[in-house]
Amino acid sequence: MTGSRGGTTVRSAVVLGGGGFLGRHIGSVFRQAGARTLSVSRSAAASATVRAAALDLSTAPPERLAELLAAERADVVVNAVGRVWGASDAEMEDANARLVRRLAVCLTAMERPPRLIQLGSIHEYGPGTPGTALAEDGEARPDTAYGRTKLLGTHTVLDTVRDHPHVEGVVLRVANALGPGAPRGSLFGSIAHRLAEGARPQIPARPIVAPGPGTGGDEGLPESATVVLTLPALRVCRDFVDVRDVADAVLAAATATAPEVSGRIVNIGSGRPVLVRQLVERLVALSGLPVRIDPAGESGGAGGGAALWQQLDISLAHKLLDWSPRRAPDESLCALLAAA
């Protein structure tokens, strides 16, 4: 398996956090490309198509990680581990920073270490400036524990590659991911599951009609037939990307030649800011259910921080990885609803 530019061959891939939202899709892309793929998570779920290994990555020492990677003869290891929703600051520190340090120690001790692809986050940048896209060479000013701990992981990868020339590593700084399997703890995952719970025979089916500004499309509906969502104002603009497009970007980073990507940060997003409230209303409309959105207050965000504007400059991803997002928001939202 090689990249579209005839880059590095990947015969074996290990996905840490392979049972999670991002990890499942990343593992699937590698398997579809013909790579022998191992999914690693605390409670691994193997199947006829998924090879899996159970390992508590929050405590696994570098030596155990090295044994696993050597046994798999891994060409690439993807760190898709991350904690944000419902996690304490200490838990985020363990998953987002300390694990990366242990992984770095593991790789530096190996004679032929696999390429590391670290999944970073748009929240490492912190608040953006309205009308301006965030580029990789811009200052990172995270304003949340999640953003700060993910940034520590990024620094670990870049420092390791700089100080150890035999280690290859790249950080993909990922926007807010949408699509099938979004966790219940996320904003859109929680709404999709709430809509799925409301999609029962006793609730009348409704045509798919996009709601007007500031409404949930429920005018004139009886109270008993309406799904009620209590949400904050969601007056923030964020960059959203389909989780399957993220997986495609990981594959591109795995197969690109080392001089192109090693030691780099590469933004992975849609490159377009979207008002979160409008995306929520579109999800509701696509569900076909009668829904009333009740305000929970005059302020609120989309999870992961209070930044009012975040938009990624994704030109470097196109240049280095020959990658661009392929899926439109409606495709992501429909897949999210279908999975829920």
The strand ranges marked E within the chain are 12-16, 36-41, 51-54, 76-79, 115-121, 169-174, 176-178, 227-231, 237-242, 264-268, 273-275, 291-295
- Do 112 and 51 form a contact (C-beta atoms < 8 A)? no
Cα distance between residue 258 and residue 280, in whole Å: 40
Please report which residue ranges of 39-144 form alpha helices under DSSP H: 62-72, 89-93, 99-109
Q: How far is CA 315 from the centre of its chain?
A: 19
Cα distance between residue 202 and residue 51, in whole Å: 41
Distance, first Cα to last Cα, the chain: 33
CA-wise closest residue to 42 among 54, 50, 52, 51: 54
Q: What is the DSSP letter of 255?
A: H
Cα distance between residue 340 and residue 69, in whole Å: 34
- Do 154 and 339 form a contact (C-beta atoms < 8 A)? no
Cα distance between residue 133 and residue 135, in whole Å: 6
- Do 44 and 50 form a contact (C-beta atoms < 8 A)? no
**Residues known to be catalytic:** 146
Q: How far is CA 4 from the centre of its chain?
A: 23
